[in-house]
Structure formats: C-alpha cells, structure tokens
Amino acid sequence: MALVTTAEVCDTNPQLIVSGELRAVQPIFQIYGRRQVFSGPVVTLKAFEDNVLIREFLEEKGDGRVLVVDGGGSLRCAILGGNPVVQAQNNGWAGIVVNGCIRDVDEINGCDIGVRALASHPMKANKKGIGEKHVPITIGGTRISDGEWLYADTDGILISPTELSV
C-alpha cells in the first residue's frame, strides 16, 4: 500500500471536508514510534486510567487496524507502555492513538508502529478491566466510530467514514 499524506487526502477530497465526512483531529498529540505515517480501519475503546482492555486488544491480530483509545485526556498516569506496543507491532497493528499518556518512550520509539499520545508519564495505570469496546468516542474535538478509517502523519490525524484513495 502506498503511503498517503494527510495533506494529499485533504487536497484531493475537498467535498468530503465540506460535507463533514472527512474530519481532522485537533493537533494535540505527540508523535511516538518509528512509523510516522500510518492508516487503517479504526477500533475504538474507552478506558480511563486503566490498561487491561488495551492490552487485550493488542494481543489480538491487528490486521493493519488502528486502536484509538479515549483515555479521557488523563495526564495522571500512563495507560500504554512498551510491552503492549511491542506486542501490537508483532501482531500487525498499524498504529495506536491514545487520548492520554504513555510510558517506556524509548522502547516505543524503537518499535515499527505509529503511536500518538498526549504526553508521557512514569506512573502505571489501574488494572481493573473497566472500559467500553467498539463505542463511538470523541477525542481532539472529533467523533470517531468503530470501523471508520484513520490517516496519520507528521501533519496530523484525519478520520474518514471509508477508506480513501488519492
């Protein structure tokens, strides 16, 4: 698959921007991982200061999907660390977007996967297994539903209801 830049997607799909189908996530995320450009179908998860469900998802085959986690924007602990990111890379996930914090940044930056998060934090998350899978979430001012497509690069993150060609 050829890598498509978010600018190209915007420039070639102005009608989708006008209609609201193609949406840009507010530029609040830091870039981690070796894969700076990634895209794929979205899997959504809501998990506040808890990483059990995140780990469960990343243990599955990724098949080029992108896990988008609404961590409520919490800056009080990390809900994603190095071990699950290594597992995600090995299981074929294209990327992970976390509306929250990560830790083990050096380890994550060594992985061939795209990771976006608000910041890094040394403290661990809870392990209660509380959260909601495959539900619509809103991060960075953008509503994101399970099965939509995410496009990410160094310019930002776009969400589309379907896979786009440029």
Which residues are annotated binding-site positions for substrate? 81-84, 103
Annotated binding site for Mg(2+): 104
Between CA 166 and CA 143 the distance in angstroms is 23
Which segments of the chain are extended strands (E)?
Answer: 23-24, 30-32, 38-46, 66-70, 78-80, 95-102, 114-120, 132-133, 137-139, 142-144, 149-153, 156-160
- Contact yes or no for 107/85 (Cβ under 8 A): yes
Which residues on adjacent β-strands are paired with residue 157? Answer: 152
Side-chain half-sphere of 18: how many Cα atoms within 13 Å? 5
DSSP annotation of 127 reads -
Closest C-alpha among 32, 12, 30, 166 to residue 88:
32
Closest C-alpha among 165, 77, 62 to residue 118:
77
Annotated binding site: 81-84, 103-104
